[in-house]
Amino acid sequence: MTWLFILFILLLVVSPVMWLKPSPRQRRISALRTAAIRTGLTVKLEKPPLHGIETAMPAYRWRYPQERPGPDFVLVRDDHASAALKSFAHGWRWRREPLRPLPEPLESRLRGLLERLPQDAIVVESHRHALALWWWESQDFPRFSTYLEDFVALRDGLAGRPDDNAITAPFRQPKV
């Protein structure tokens, strides 16, 4: 009977420690985020630019150089977009289009990338400071790394194409 009592007490002591142990999913996501940050990405949990999703979602950001800001646009997967939004690529709609059309090479690169992204990738967003992917992290880093080259090339191509220049350029006075 004493052994049973000792075993019960040991289980009471060990059980909280087991609850603190990370799950396999938590370990995979931690490794994914750590590897992504090492490649120069910024990873943050924030509210996504969607209606109806109030919970924080992971956003992976490729920053534009400060002297070369990017355009403003938001692409949303069809499952989370209104049918009234303009279609862009198979399964994706513009929530906010860039003011200047994208050059054909950049547009085709973006279309190809969107077709390859996992189903849990919900939003691709660009603003002055960064190009962002909003997704639920369904893949590990080796699989995610297959998108890195395309995102970097897309970021580099979009850098220096801010939308505010598209508005103000026709109204600028020449310098004398």
As a whole number, the mean pLDDT across the chain is: 89
* pLDDT tens-place string over residues 34-53: 999 999 999 999 999 988 88
From the DSSP assignment, how many helices (H) and strands (E) are in the chain?
Answer: 5, 7
* pLDDT tens-place string over residues 9-29: 877 777 776 677 888 899 999
Q: Where are the domains of the chain?
A: 40-50+57-162
Confidence check: pLDDT of 76 > 70: yes
The encoded tokens of residue 71 equal: 């355009």
- DSSP E strands in the chain: the ranges are 42-46, 57-63, 73-77, 87-89, 92-96, 121-126, 130-135
Q: Is the pTM of this model over 0.75?
A: yes
Question: What per-residue confidence (pLDDT) applies to 119?
Answer: 95
| Bigger pLDDT: 1 vs 71 | 71
Question: What per-residue confidence (pLDDT) applies to 173?
Answer: 46
- Of 147, 81, 61, 87, residue with least CA distance to 112: 147
Mean pLDDT for the stretch of residues 56-81? 95
Question: What per-residue confidence (pLDDT) applies to 106?
Answer: 93
- Compute the radius of gyration of the chain from its Cα atoms: 22
Confidence check: pLDDT of 56 > 80: yes
Neighbouring C-alpha atoms within 13 Å toward the C-beta of 30 = 6
Question: Which residues, 6 or more positions from 146, have their beta carbon under 8 angstroms from its beta carbon?
Answer: 116
Residue 172 confidence class, pLDDT cut points 50, 70, 90: very low
- Of 63, 81, 56, 75, residue with least CA distance to 136: 56
